[in-house]
Structure 1
Amino acid sequence: MSEKTILVWFRNDLRIHDNEILLEAVRKADSVLPVYCFDPYYFQHTASCSSKTGNFRTRFLLEAVADLRKSLQAYGAELIVRTGNPAEILPQLAEQYQVNEVYHHREVAYEETGISEQVEAALWKMRLNLKHFIGHTLYHKEDLPFPIKDIPDSFPVFKKKVERDSNVRPCVPTPEHIVTPEITDAGELPTLQQLGLNEPVDDVRATNYFQGGETAALAQLHQFFSKSEQSGKSKSSRNSHINSNSSKLSPWLAVGCISPRQVYWEIFKHMQDSSYAQNAGMLKLELLWRDYFRFMFKKHGQKFIKAKTAEDEAEVQATSELEFNRWANGETGVPYIDACMHELNATGYICNQCRQIVATYLVHDLKADWTRGAAYFEEKLIDYSPASNWGNWAFIAGINDAKESKYVIAAMQPKELETQSDFVTTWQSSPKDEAGDLIHA
């Protein structure tokens, strides 16, 4: 009897721990073929000549894939890396290694689902099945107290019902061993230059550096709770508001170097300790927001981020290219707004408070098309996730009757906000350096 080989198509699940498709493939097959494809679609240039994926996020992704390969090698396995269209590459590898089935985690945003459909169609011609798994949310779709079509559009209602009537599943075990077929050409990771990008320049004012990979993700999770314990014991911090983004886990969550369930069960371990309670509670809330946006995309599809009606659009002024560029480059004259945008452009990351406020300013003060802001964030953010990014911008823009404010801070006037930041400074409008960031004056 011939051996069974399952191809595991890694996408936004770049981890060994709590990875259902990897565990299931190990259990069901004699050998597993792990594959990652750098799809040129995500590195193309947009109509505005910007990159769909910026260099900070691309560097992070390259590091994450390299770390996954290293982790697999520790199990005696290997990761095949290719650059090209997955709908062409995966069938080729399936034929070469006599694959019996292909596993992957299902996505919800239309670009990602469209690529899955292309792969599925190509495999179907070979009489191969693309098996879909659900592994990007805290709560499994099948454990929700309502079918997808009946998920409440209101986040408070969604949160209340889910927390009351659903349970978070335990993390799946980590495979004890992984057997791969004899791989003749594992392939090299592409360079930034090969993907059409320049090496990012790390700004000296940046207080964070994000190293891609599961190894760094687990270290960051441990560090977050260690710092929470220290701050909880500090008298000066007891009455201070701690922003949930202090965990800074979002880049690793975005590409699946760590799963929401791993974070949740670590939160669960610490919830009874008052030293951790505030931070843990806010972190859990952010995981719920991630779930909410993903399920909204699953329920509504593109309708969730549809354009406003003609009547609504009449209220939106034709924001000039100059006005939008001033916002994007941090040259609005509002110190807090400008500081946030300087930091975003220079590092690829800003805290959640900054994101809400600069988005609110662009949409409601400048009356700009919110989709332009969402596309700009898509390029710049290290932790870009389609559902969270586009869903959050749509929420702020009031699409689909999302009228309640997500964060009270979004209603704060920028002039009332703290402006003590290394990024509040004078920046030249030109020239630009090779990385495309404005040169500090």
Structure 2
Amino acid sequence: MAVDTALIWFRRDLRLHDNSVLVDAARAEALLPVYCFDPREYGTADFGGPDSFRYEKTGGHRAQFRRESVTDLRDSLRAAGSDLLVAHGRPETVLPALVSTTDADAVFFQTLPTSEERTTERAVTARLREEGVAVHRLWTHTLVHLADLPTPYTDIDDTFTPFRKRVESSSTTRDPLDVPTLPPLPSATSSIERATFETLPSLSTLGVEDPPVDERRSLDFDGGESAGRDRLAAYLWDRDCLRVYKETRNGLLGADYSSKFSPWLNEGCLSPRFVNVEVDRYEAERVANDSTYWLLFELLWRDFFQFQFLKHGNRFFARGGIRNRTDIEWRTDGEAETAFGRWAAGETGVPFVDAIMRELNRTGFVSNRGRQNAASFLANNLRVDWRWGAAYFETQLVDYDPCSNYGNWAYIAGVGNDSRDRYFDVVKQAKQYDEQATYVTHWLPELAALPPETVHEPWRLSPDEQTQYGVELGVDYPRPVVDVEASYEKLR
């Protein structure tokens, strides 16, 4: 069916390369690209459901990254002879109004798997169909396309390894799509205020505080397709880091211990299929080994959670998770709130956990190893409702993705995609992955005078040792929020 005038609504697909929504929309005679800063994605909100609580939806790190990504998308569209209209409003209100202004007969957009995004999609679709406008929703953000799964998504295994093996043996990854030639803007666009093409809402307008800037950060996460492709090229080709990815991925400090592609993947500035093609090229031109495979393995983990949320829906957001566990006694009293506050602030008195949380708060990013340990400590040692922690990560993470974030938290809390109880011995982990306490003292300089062998368990210091090293527990650094050793007894 020929389309005279179309709108493309960009969501978490902020790129021109390998964007099937853009390719299909570009077949129209005229095309208006649109991005909406939906006010429901910012400010405080109720988590919803039983045992609800209030939390902040999008913090400064991700809001700034997203704003930079939208700016970069607009620049790229302009370089391609088009433009981007930026609105601050609900899509189900903004898009029908623009359809009326431009007399558009079709709207194209990305479909996403979780409930909030799909609720918005349904509202948009209902409004547009009332006006007789065709709606085209496309799946764009996984390595393996939804239609190419070996079974319907409703039948995929709830454990990763069987899912991975079936996908690797039975599915293929589609080739990335080229950037299409873009049609002109609709003629009626001239009646729209030019400010909507020139001005993006500020963080303060969105109700978000500016993020802190900390020179101790591992990497500058600049938003946008251009920065994402630059990071991919630097990691693979300029610094040749991929060949040792499997050996370094559990690192804690530095720019290149891991790929750090996740912020650009999650906002759609990088296509996972494009990453896959670049890895294939790297294997052909440089080396193919466990590390090159492991990066694609991690992309399949990302896919797994996308399809899991499509399968299970809101069950993932329940305290008992998809396993509907009722046997865990979660603390939700005033003491739990105090413990959560100390955890969020990086003041638990357990240095490895505190360093992780302080890095998260200051930079919006922390290693996967760090995320697992911080999550395990809150959910398993403190027995604070795991969703409080997942929601806090939602606020703080520059690379937040609802499926990966809540899926991984549920997994660690024992209510998600693994029948085994998952917990981390955070002291043992600290000694294994931060043997010289370099990471901990990087983020907790108040402990820098301690010998490395004592840093991870300062509560064992005698009063004389505290005086000797100038670290008084309860004054210079907190006493533990819980008896660490005893807190493992209920888990064993």
Q: TM-score, normalised by structure 1?
A: 0.89
Contact 1:305 1:399 in 2 (8 A): no
Note the 1:12-411 alignment, pairs <5 A: 12-27=12-27, 29-46=28-45, 50-182=55-187, 183-184=189-190, 185-186=193-194, 187=196, 188-226=199-237, 229=240, 232=243, 240-243=247-250, 246-272=258-284, 275=287, 277-308=289-320, 309=324, 311-314=326-329, 318=333, 320-400=336-416, 402-404=418-420
Tell me how far 1:50 sits from its aligned partner.
Answer: 4.8
Cα distance in 2 for residues equivalent to 1:153 and 1:355: 22
**Larger displacement relative to structure 2 (390-399 or 66-75):** 390-399
Q: Kindly, what percent of the aligned residue pairs are identical? A: 39
1-side partners of 2:235 and 2:144: how far apart?
22
- Does residue 1:420 correspond to 2:438, yes or no? yes
Cα pair distance change 1:407/1:396, threshold 3 Å: closer
Question: What do residues 126-146 of structure 1 show as CA deviations (whole Å, max 9, x unaligned)?
Answer: 111221101011101111111
Distance in 2, matches of 1:402 and 1:77, equals: 47
Distance in 2 separating the partners of 1:32 and 1:87: 19
- Give the 3 Å change call, closer, same or farther, for CA 54–276 of structure 1 in structure 2: farther
Q: Deviations over 1:101-150 (max 9, x none)?
A: 11111110100100111111111211112211010111011111111111
> Alpha-carbon deviation of 1:313?
3.5
CA–CA separation in structure 2 for the residues paired with 1:390 and 1:139: 21
Q: Out of 161-170 and 49-58, give the one that drifted further.
A: 49-58
Q: Secondary structure at the match of 1:130?
A: strand
Q: Are the aligned partners of 1:228 and 1:279 in contact in 2 as well (CA < 8 Å)?
A: no
Answer whether contact 2:3 2:105 (CA < 8 A) is retained: no
SS in 1 for 2:258: helix
CA distance in 1, matches of 2:176, 2:270: 11
DSSP-derived class of the 2:205 partner: coil
| Alignment RMSD | 2.7
CA contact under 8 A between 1:229 and 1:276: conserved in structure 2?
no
Return the alpha-carbon distance in structure 2 between the equivalents of residues 371 and 117 of structure 1: 26
CA distance in 2, matches of 1:75, 1:405: 52
Radius of gyration: which is bigger? 2
CA gap 1:404/1:216 in 2 versus in 1, 3 angstroms: farther
Unaligned runs of 5+ in 2: 47-52, 252-256, 448-473, 475-492
Q: Deviations over 1:242-292 (max 9, x none)?
A: 349711110011110011101111111123566563442222111101100
Tell me the CA shift for residue 166 of structure 1: 0.5
Q: Secondary structure at the match of 1:169?
A: coil
CA distance 1:407–1:127, change in 2 (3 Å) = farther
CA distance in 2, matches of 1:231, 1:301: 35
In 1, Cα distance between equivalents of 2:60 and 2:316: 28
CA distance, structure 2, for counterparts of residue 350 and residue 342 of structure 1: 9
How far apart, in 1, do the equivalents of 2:428 and 2:11 lie?
38
Contact (CA 8 Å) 2:360, 2:396: kept in 1 or not? yes
Verify the 8 A CA contact 2:59 2:209 in the aligned structure 1.
no
CA distance in 1, matches of 2:231, 2:414: 34
Offset at residue 425 of structure 1 (A): 2.9
Q: Give the 3 Å change call, closer, same or farther, for CA 409–117 of structure 1 in structure 2.
A: farther
Structure 1 position 176, deviation (Å): 2.8
In 2, distance between residues paired with 1:128 and 1:280?
45
Give the counterpart letter for 1:348 in structure 2. Answer: G
Displacement of 1:403: 2.5
User: Using the alignment, how far apart are the partners of 1:401 and 1:61 within structure 2?
Assistant: 30
The alpha-carbon deviation at position 406 of structure 1 amounts to: 8.3
8 Å Cα contact 1:357/1:414 also seen in 2: no
Distance between the aligned counterparts of 1:39 and 1:239, measured in 2? 38
The question of whether the paired residues in 2 share the 8 Å contact of 1:339 and 1:425 is answered with no
Mind listing any 5+ residue stretches in structure 1 that lack a counterpart? 430-441
Distance in 2, Cα, partners of 1:154 & 1:52: 29
Change (3 A) 1:416 1:164: same
Distance 1:315 1:239 in 2: 35
- CA 1:270–1:317 in 2, change beyond 3 Å: closer, same or farther? same
Report deviation, 1:380.
0.2
Q: Output the TM-score relative to the length of structure 2.
A: 0.80
Other-structure match for 1:435 = none
Change in CA separation of 1:63 and 1:405 when aligned onto 2, cut-off 3 Å:
farther
Q: Is the alpha carbon distance of 1:383 and 1:263 closer, same or farther for their aligned partners in structure 2, counting shifts above 3 Å?
A: same
Question: How many equivalent residue pairs?
Answer: 424
Residue 201 (structure 1) shift: 2.1
